[in-house]
A and B are shown apart, each in its own frame.
Chain A
Amino acid sequence: MSQSSSTGSFDVASLVEDVNLRRVGQYALVVFFLGFFLVPLETGIMTAIKTNESVARSLPFAPPVGEGFTLGNIQFALEQLSGSFFNSLVMSIPATIGSVLFGSMAAYGLTMVNWRAQMGVLMLFVVGVFVPYQAVLVPLARFWNNIFPLARMIEPMVASIPFFQGYHAELVPLVITHIAYGIPICTILFRSYYQSLPNSLVEAGKIDGASITKIYRRIILPISKPMFGVVFIYQFTQIYNEFLFAFTLVTGSDAPAAPVTLVLPAIGASTSGIDFGIRMSAAFLAAIPTLILYVAFAEQFAKGLRTEA
């Protein structure tokens, strides 16, 4: 009897019990920050698909109505950016692969192989992380322009590759610079991961008769796949978004080899004023490759962060 009565009545008080000030505060905070991050994004997207007139007349975050909607901004921005997209990818993909691969190799050599003066070399890598960009700009420009003008030397060679023009040779020094600058941080990231791996794997490899390079290629490289995901995303974002080196070595937004970051500030700006619709469209288009990368590597990324922790 007592059982039926307890299940029959719906206990309203238990609902209220869960609601207390602390919980309310927590949810309020969550909602606030959700808005804080999402509203600017939404405003940007809305501006990108509005006509100039609509941008001027409606609230920034309001969606376009009727005549105010256009895809013209995006189309225009895409035309302006298409060449520099290609440049950016030609630059950042090899530079990322190079620095990540070399970083992993260096970390392997510095963590899992024993040799003298290891600590000294590692210190050089650590110092390399902290060398400020500004300090090397002038020497860098002089080196690639006067001392070792690699771009001019390989220009005819690059021009003969299908889909490439002679001016793409200007990106090669940039790629090499990015690789050199990326190796230290990649090495440090990989090192912390390799230190967490059991040493017995390498030792077992040695007993099995594998050489140092074979152990790297067949054992360490496959095991560090999740870490590659993390470092690859990090390094690609860094290089793709980088401005200073590109500006120094390629010079200016009107250069044919200019990557996206150089072209972006010039789009939609003219003597008659700033076209916000085109600017926003260009900004979103420029961000797409990094977004794609995050989505594509999301699983590896999460796995890598987990294993590192």
Chain B
Amino acid sequence: MGQIQLTDLTKRFGDTVAVDDLSLDIADEEFLVLVGPSGCGKSTTLRMLAGLETATSGDIYIGGDHMNYRVPQNRDIAMVFQDYALYPHMTVRQNIRFGLEEEEGYTSAERDERVVEVAETLGIAELLDRKPDELSGGQQQRVALGRAIVRDPEVFLMDEPLSNLDAKLRAEMRTELQNLQDQLAVTTVYVTHNQTEAMTMADRIAVMDDGELQQVASPFECYHEPNNLFVAEFIGEPMINLVRGTRSETTFVGEHFSYPLDEGVMEAVGDREDLVLGIRPEDIEVVDAATDDTAADAALGDHELRMDVTVVEPHGDQNVLHLSHPDQPSADDALQAVTEGMHLVTRGDRVTVTIPPDKIHVFDAETGTAVHNRRHDQEADLTQLEQ
């Protein structure tokens, strides 16, 4: 069984703390993605799991057995490295077979058979007698996977395995990896700094920053109910809009605009003064305003703003708009909004922007923790998805 349990795991390199008191349970057959910026300790965590680093303190259990003092070979794991680490002087066949040589219970013929079997699963059977430097990046990637699969481990560890591939191939391999993991039903811990990979592949995402675990949740939850500012910022492309400001009575006052907070939000905010208002770009509603400015200004609702479009980034399916306040045109973008691809807006347009009160996130500016997340009726949302 491949369930993994990490308790109070800490790793120090001299004075720097790479991983700080990390506790994490990973279920059998789960696909967990460890994500975070470089230097956040995600790779160190993976390497401790693999047995390439020893934990300073804390315990590692795989399948219920204590692993701290076991060599990598006896942990029943396989690892895929970022640079694939294929042995350059060996053929693909020898590369895949190498890991099998130390496994007991195989005869030499059975080992050869197993190598061919694995190569066929991955579609690299015709490459078996080539050397790694005669293969393309995608093929090398497959060989690296084959080397991991061949020993039939309980746990796969993957350290940014797709980061050396070009964008198109990466998307392809992403689905392939997911299918493979599904097929083999092996617990997988996957490290990446790429939030798209994390969102698309994971059963659950573990977001790390500065050695500490920020949130462990499904991609859906990480996106819509972030624990804190870091998670909100890290997950999502284009990034969530964050506006720093203060509270005066029941109104949020930011640099570019003020925004009334409704009762439910106020309850959660309590008497905090410094706040950060968050809103996902696709939740902002953009309406072409009437040409008459004064009339439009007068007609503005509570949650509406008048803004100038400074940059339009067409993506085909959607347009990303950079918006700034009409009175401070030189200032940085106040907001980014995403509109439908068919909704044409040109640079320089003045538009009316609605920030729906039920879609906002509010964070404590000092601690960064989320005090209020967007309201969403999960069941209603999900039934909508199923239709």
| Complex Cα spacing A200 to B98, Å | 15
Flag whether B87 is at the interface (Cβ < 8 A): yes
Check if A219 sits within 8 Å of B87, measured CB to CB. yes
The interface residues of chain A lying within 8 Å CB-to-CB of B52 are 203, 206-207
The interface residues of chain B lying within 8 Å CB-to-CB of A225 are 89
The interface residues of chain A lying within 8 Å CB-to-CB of B87 are 201, 204, 218-219, 223
Name the contact of B102 in the complex, choosing from A200, A201, A204, A210 (C-beta under 8 A). Answer: A210
Flag whether A139 is at the interface (Cβ < 8 A): no
Flag whether B72 is at the interface (Cβ < 8 A): yes
**What residue of chain B has the Cβ atom nearest to residue A218's Cβ?**
B98
Check if A200 sits within 8 Å of B85, measured CB to CB. yes
Total A-B residue pairs with C-beta atoms closer than 8 Å? 56
Interface flags for B83-99 (1: CB within 8 Å of A; 0: not) read: 10101110000000011
B64 nearest CB across to chain A (Å): 21
Check if B89 sits within 8 Å of A204, measured CB to CB. no
Check if A203 sits within 8 Å of B81, measured CB to CB. yes
Flag whether B284 is at the interface (Cβ < 8 A): no
**What residue of chain A has the Cβ atom nearest to residue B94's Cβ?**
A218
**What residue of chain A has the Cβ atom nearest to residue B150's Cβ?**
A208
Count of residues in A whose CB is under 8 Å from the partner chain: 16
**What residue of chain A has the Cβ atom nearest to residue B82's Cβ?**
A200
| Complex Cα spacing A219 to B132, Å | 14
**A203-B52, A204-B85, A219-B87 as given contacts; A209 in contact with B78, CB under 8 Å:** no
Interface flags for A173-215 (1: CB within 8 Å of B; 0: not) read: 0000000000000000000000000101101111111100000
Flag whether B346 is at the interface (Cβ < 8 A): no
Name the contact of B78 in the complex, choosing from A201, A205, A207, A223 (C-beta under 8 A). Answer: A207
Flag whether B165 is at the interface (Cβ < 8 A): no
New A-B pairs, 4, CB < 8 Å, besides A200-B85, A204-B79, A207-B77: A200-B81, A204-B81, A204-B87, A208-B101
The 6 closest A-B pairs by CB, nearest first: A209-B102, A209-B73, A208-B99, A200-B85, A204-B85, A222-B89
Residues of B whose CB lies within 8 Å of any CB of A are 50-52, 71-73, 77-79, 81-83, 85, 87-89, 98-99, 101-103, 147, 151
Residues of A whose CB lies within 8 Å of any CB of B are 198, 200-201, 203-210, 218-219, 222-223, 225
A-B contact pairs, 19 of them (CB 8 A): A198-B85, A200-B81, A200-B83, A201-B85, A203-B81, A203-B85, A205-B98, A206-B51, A206-B52, A206-B71, A206-B72, A206-B73, A207-B78, A207-B79, A209-B72, A209-B101, A218-B98, A219-B87, A223-B88
